[in-house]
Amino acid sequence: MKTIYLIGFMGAGKSTIASLLGKQMGLPVIELDDYIEKAEGMSIPDIFAARGETGFRDAETEHLASLPAEGYIVSTGGGVVTRQANRDIMDKGVVVFLNVSFETVTQRLQDDQQRPLWRADSSDKYKIFLERQPLYQQMAHITIAVDDQTPSEIVELVAARLG
């Protein structure tokens, strides 16, 4: 089976769904941000602080390209779609877009201090959200609306669509 890439904005539930889907399908899960942190020897916020967003995106592309093309579920970071090279890599697998509203993201991440881009003011966060939505939609082989769904319901929807 081709590698399954979960995409979507921060707070869409990619990590949670990847873990549950991996258990259900018997596939290993790669948390791309964790993978990057281990490979780079520093946290995502530290990479942003030391190298800026461009430096982080360079590392993200490098490590995404190094992942297996088959047999895995990959939970990506919310901005992975901003680079054409990343979109080209993921397009070789099955791309599942977890579509979440900005209101739900705001509720889920209201106390989050770990995501560098979530520290911006509200209008900047919304601008990033709006900029990325068309990229997620364009990339998706499968789109799942996640607002008002439990993680297990989302996993069942994804699994059914994967066939």
**101 closest CA partner among 137, 124, 122, 129:** 129
pLDDT in tens, 106-141: 887 776 656 555 556 677 888 999 999 999 999 999
Domain interval for residue 51 = 4-157
* Residue 162: inside a domain: no
Q: What's the number of CA atoms in the CB half-sphere (13 Å) around residue 99?
A: 16
| Tens-digit pLDDT profile for residues 68-88 | 989 999 999 999 999 999 999
Output the domain CATH number for residue 22: 3.40.50.300
In the prediction, which pLDDT does 125 show? Answer: 83
Our count of domains for the chain comes to 1
The Cα–Cα gap between 104 and 101 comes to 5
Residue 55 included in any domain: yes
